[in-house]
Amino acid sequence: MHYLEAELFSSLGENNLLFNFIKNTAFDGVWYWDLEKPENEWMSPSFWTTLGHNPDEMPHSPSAWQNSIFEEDYLEARNRITALLESKSVNYEQTLRYRHKDGSTVWIQCKGVVVRNEMGIPLRIFGAHIKVTALILKEMMNQNNRSSFEQIHEAAPISLALNSNNTEIVKGSDELIHNFNNSSNVQEEIILEDGTKYPIEMVGILFYDKDDRPKIGSYIEDVSERVQLTKQLQRRDELLGLLAQNTSDTLMIFNNKNEITYASPSFERITGKKIEKFPVNEMEAIDYVHPDELKCVVKSYRNAVDNKERELVLVHRAIHVTEGDIWLEDRANMEYDSNGNHVKTFVVSRNITKRKNLEIALLEESQKRKEIAEQLVEEKEKSKEELYKDLHDGVNQLLFASRLHLENSGFANDENVSQAVDYLSKAIIEIRKIAIESTSQFIVDSSFDVAITEYLVKLNVHSDIKFSVDNLIEEHLKLDDNKKKHLFRICQELSQNAIKHSNATKMSFRFRIENNELILIAKDNGNGLNENQDPGIGMKNIIDRVYLMEGKIRFINFKNNGLAAYIRVKI
């Protein structure tokens, strides 16, 4: 039991105001509103059955009935209740229009009483609903002048009863009478003397009196708004049909059972499948989808409907009856009723096989280019390694032999000779280090932070630039061997460019990790790039290596104040 219903039940024996109100009022529904928690309002089941809804499916919330009430009536009701609560008044009364689930109009008289505390603060509103549709229709007909009523009466195919007791047949053929069941709705457009067209819906009830004579009671309802909306929908459907007949894309309409209820003529051209009649059941409706993607396609559409989404764009493979695999792009628009239930789905399906094949070809071409670039970089690595190997095996041996000759010349104690021997020893060591650092294996065997730190320490000894490195955390990098080699060579290229061209006095390498990306920021305080100068081999090597890592690079030129390289690589 809803807490407001329980509270109301327990209050009936204690509150004379509520008891007298219920006792003296005839009603078709009861409501009880918590003003302290205005999102909660208990509505008796009879109110919802009056509007054609299942009470078990309707929430106890003002938003539920606000979806059914006419907008202008809701605004007036809200203003009246607001004024009532701000005053010291107790009673509330108003006649409102609601939409029945079948689209018809229901007039309901709403009465209420405000329950306040001892301070006069409103706590609850207790009220009743009384269906007054028949009375309102009677008043509306009585308001017409006699001549107008007679014109409507003469134009109508059945009799019009002025009240529930007057059910004598004034007009109506035997055929019409026998075509009625216990109740019937007839929609007509009658024409008055002045030529005015008046769309009405007549609700008739057939019964038999004690002499077994057929009698009909009926009332009319102005359905101009409904007729106009129906015509708008018909025009929309006609326009959609016209577009469907003259477009290369396929228009399909699915109902809430996932059956195809319409498919434009281009459906046969795109899929090779001919539809003889509608509706097409669910399994046949989607059998053109590729089996490998059928489960994914069905899941995507169902998830969109479950989540009350309005639009869906989906690219998937399909099978043409004679041409084999094709690619389709679906653009779907889902429609829902006022209760949020899925009604139908419009799908515009386009054959994008040529575009998709081009994308696949471009992707394959890009992969081939990447493989070629990797081969070129690898060849450059091997060339450098061979060069430094020759340097180590050739020049280094000559230096080593020269040092031995000087040491054995008998002038080893001479200061100049001794200094030359020291220089030769240092040169031999440096060539050995260069040869070792030039090999890819050196970079792979060393941790990245050790390799780059040792390299920059050595540069600090032999150059006029002060190099620094920050935030190198090896365990967080998780670099594979190729990325480790590429990043090390990029740092080498950037530092060598700075030494050769920048006239800088300092250069920093900073590393950080963001969203599974390694970010390298290398910045010097030199001259920057000459905007009119083409990038050299070093810059091209850097760009190639970033491309091979599927990363991004951006150079920022600070005029006469240095150059910064921003590099992002996924790790």
Q: What's 188-233 look like in SS3?
A: EEEECCCCCEEEEEEEEEEEECCCCCEEEEEEEEECHHHHHHHHHH
Higher pLDDT, 331 or 362: 331
Mean per-residue pLDDT, 552-562: 84
Higher pLDDT, 388 or 171: 388
The total of other beta-carbon atoms located within 10 Å of residue 552's CB is 14
Q: What confidence category does residue 533 fall into, taking pLDDT thresholds of 50, 70 and 90?
A: low
CA angle 429, 432, 438 (to 5 degrees): 140
* Residue at token pair 């001794």: 418
Give the least confident one: 9-13, 306-310, 436-440. 436-440
Of the candidates 537, 481, 489, 543, the residue with the CA atom closest to the CA atom of residue 381: 489
Give the Cα separation of 81 and 370 in Å (integer): 72
Which of 80-84, 160-164, 212-216, 281-285 reaches the highest mean pLDDT? Answer: 80-84
Which of 19-23, 102-106, 422-426 reaches the highest mean pLDDT? Answer: 102-106
pLDDT of residue 309: 93
pLDDT of residue 140: 60
Higher pLDDT, 155 or 42: 42
pLDDT of residue 367: 76
Q: Percent of the chain, pLDDT > 70?
A: 65
Higher pLDDT, 34 or 241: 34
Residue 436 phi/psi, 5-degree rounding, is -70, -45
Q: Percent of the chain, pLDDT > 90?
A: 14
Calculate the alpha carbon distances from 159 to 135, 171, 174, 177, 213 in Å. 18, 5, 13, 11, 15
| pLDDT tens figures, 173-205 | 444 444 444 444 556 666 666 777 767 666 555
pLDDT of residue 410: 66
pLDDT of residue 171: 44
Q: Is the pLDDT of residue 329 over 80?
A: yes
| pLDDT tens figures, 481-502 | 788 888 888 898 898 888 888 8
pLDDT of residue 300: 93
Higher pLDDT, 281 or 328: 328
Mean per-residue pLDDT, 21-30: 60
